[in-house]
Amino acid sequence: MSHNRNGVILKVEGLVKKFGNFRALDGVSLEVEEGKIIGLAGPNGSGKTTFINVVSGVYKSNGGRVIFNGEDITNIDSYKIVRKGINRTFQIPKPLLGLTVEENIRVAAVYGAKDKRKVKERIEYSLSTIGLEGFRFKKAESLTSTQQKLLGLGRALATNPKLLLVDEIAAGLTQKELKMIANMLLGLKEKGVTLIVVEHLMGFLDMITDEVVIMNAGKEIFRGLIREASNNEEVIRVFLGG
Amino acid sequence: MLSYALIGGIMYGLYFGLVGMGLNLIFGVMRIINLAHGDFIMLGAFLTYWLYYLFGFNPLIVIPISIFVFLVFGFLMYYIFVPKLLHSKDPEMLSFILFFGVSQVIEAIIILFFGNNQISVPSTIFAKLFKVSTFTLFGNTFPISWLVVSIVCIATFAVIYVYFFHTKLGYATRAIMANRHEALVSGIDVNKVSAIAFGVGIAAASLAGVMGFFMIGAAFPSMGTDLTTISFTIIVLGALGNPLGTVIGGLIYGVAIMLMQTYFSSWTNVLPYLLLIFVILIKPEGLLGKAVRNV
CB A112 within 8 A of CB A77: no
Q: Which residues of chain B make contact with A111, given a CB cutoff of 8 A?
A: 172, 186-189
Whether A56 and chain B come into contact, CB under 8 Å, resolves to yes
Whether A95 and chain B come into contact, CB under 8 Å, resolves to yes
End-to-end CA distance of chain A: 37
Chain B contact residues (CB < 8 Å to A): 168, 171-172, 174-175, 177-179, 181-191, 293-295
Q: Which residues of chain B make contact with A112, given a CB cutoff of 8 A?
A: 185-188
Q: Are A57 and B182 in contact (CB < 8 Å)? A: no
The distance of B242 to chain A (nearest Cα, Å) reads: 11
Each residue's pLDDT, cut to its tens digit, for chain B (295 residues) gives 788 999 999 999 999 999 999 999 999 898 888 999 999 999 999 999 999 999 999 999 999 999 999 999 999 999 999 888 888 888 888 888 999 999 999 999 999 999 999 999 998 899 888 899 999 999 999 999 999 999 999 999 999 999 998 999 998 999 999 888 889 999 999 999 999 999 999 999 999 999 999 999 999 999 999 999 999 989 988 877 788 789 999 999 999 888 888 888 888 888 877 887 888 888 777 776 554 444 4
H or E stretch at A28: strand A22-33
Rg over CA atoms, chain A: 17
Q: Are B187 and A82 in contact (CB < 8 Å)? A: yes
Q: Are B188 and A99 in contact (CB < 8 Å)? A: no
Distance between CA atoms of B231 and B244, rounded to whole angstroms? 14
Whether A119 and chain B come into contact, CB under 8 Å, resolves to no
Q: How far is CA B38 from CA B33, B107, B155, B252, in A?
A: 12, 10, 21, 20
Q: Residue A111 is nearest to which of B172, B294, B295, comparing CB atoms?
A: B172
Q: Residue A111 is nearest to which of B187, B294, B295, comparing CB atoms?
A: B187
Q: How far is CA B179 from CA B153, B186, B188, in A?
A: 29, 11, 11
Q: Are B174 and A110 in contact (CB < 8 Å)? A: no
Residues with Cβ within 8 Å of residue B21, at least 6 apart in sequence: B156, B157, B160, B201, B204, B205, B208, B243, B246, B247
Distance between CA atoms of B189 and B177, rounded to whole angstroms? 13
Q: What is the average pLDDT across A158-169?
A: 95
Confidence of residue A48 (pLDDT cuts 50, 70, 90): very high
| CB burial of residue B126 (10 Å; 0-12, 13-18, 19+) | buried
The distance of A148 to chain B (nearest Cα, Å) reads: 12
Q: Are B189 and A99 in contact (CB < 8 Å)? A: no
Rg over CA atoms, chain B: 19
Range in A149-163, A198-212, B276-290 with the lowest mean pLDDT: B276-290
The distance of B9 to chain A (nearest Cα, Å) reads: 31
Model pLDDT, residue B284: 73
Whether A91 and chain B come into contact, CB under 8 Å, resolves to no
Model pLDDT, residue B181: 86
The distance of B196 to chain A (nearest Cα, Å) reads: 16
Q: Are B171 and A106 in contact (CB < 8 Å)? A: yes
Model pLDDT, residue A242: 53
Model pLDDT, residue B288: 67
Q: How far is CA B184 from CA A73, B58, B234, in A?
A: 16, 43, 30
Nearest Cα residue in chain B from A116? B187
Which of 125-184 (A) contact B at CB < 8 A? Answer: 152, 155-156, 159
Confidence of residue A1 (pLDDT cuts 50, 70, 90): very low
Distance between CA atoms of A119 and B273, rounded to whole angstroms? 49
| CATH number reported for the structural domain that contains residue B155 in this entry | 1.10.3470
Q: Are B182 and A97 in contact (CB < 8 Å)? A: no
The distance of B158 to chain A (nearest Cα, Å) reads: 20
A vs B, Cβ pairs < 8 A, gives: 82
Q: Which residues of chain A make contact with B194, given a CB cutoff of 8 A?
A: none
Count of domains for chain B: 1
Residues in chain B, total: 295
Q: How far is CA B157 from CA B34, B78, B154, B164, B230, in A?
A: 20, 23, 5, 10, 19
| Region for A95 from its dihedrals, namely left if φ exceeds 0, alpha if ψ lies in -120 to 50, beta otherwise | beta
Q: Write a three-state SS string for B187-200.
A: CCCHHHHHHHHHHH
The distance of B278 to chain A (nearest Cα, Å) reads: 27
- Tell me, what DSSP letter sits at residue A100? B
CB B108 within 8 A of CB B99: no
Q: Residue A96 is nearest to which of B182, B190, B293, comparing CB atoms?
A: B182
Domains and CATH numbers, chain A: 1-78+162-169+193-242 (3.40.50.300), 86-160 (no CATH)
Backbone φ, ψ for residue B224 (5° rounding): -60, -40
Which residue out of A56, A103, A111, A139 would a mutagenesis test of the B interface target, given it has the greatest number of B Cβ atoms within 10 Å?
A111
Model pLDDT, residue A4: 39
Q: Which residues of chain A make contact with B185, given a CB cutoff of 8 A?
A: 56, 58, 78-79, 82, 87-88, 112, 155-156
Q: What is the average pLDDT across A146-151?
A: 94
The complex's ipTM works out to 0.82
Q: Dihedral (C-alpha) B191, B195, B197, B202: value to the nearest 10 degrees?
A: 150
- Tell me, what DSSP letter sits at residue A139? B
| CB burial of residue B156 (10 Å; 0-12, 13-18, 19+) | buried
Whether A49 and chain B come into contact, CB under 8 Å, resolves to no
Strands A22-33 and A8-19: antiparallel
- Tell me, what DSSP letter sits at residue A93? -
Q: Are B182 and A112 in contact (CB < 8 Å)? A: no
Strands A71-72 and A194-198: unpaired
| Region for B130 from its dihedrals, namely left if φ exceeds 0, alpha if ψ lies in -120 to 50, beta otherwise | alpha
For residue B254, what are the domain limits? Answer: 2-292
The distance of A95 to chain B (nearest Cα, Å) reads: 7
> How many other C-beta atoms lie within 10 A of the C-beta of residue A72?
12
Model pLDDT, residue B1: 78
Q: What is the average pLDDT across A165-180?
A: 92
Nearest Cα residue in chain B from A97? B178
Model pLDDT, residue B136: 93
Confidence of residue A222 (pLDDT cuts 50, 70, 90): very high
Q: Which residues of chain B make contact with A103, given a CB cutoff of 8 A?
A: 171
Model pLDDT, residue A144: 93
Which is more confident, A242 or B264? B264
Percent pLDDT > 70 in chain A is: 96
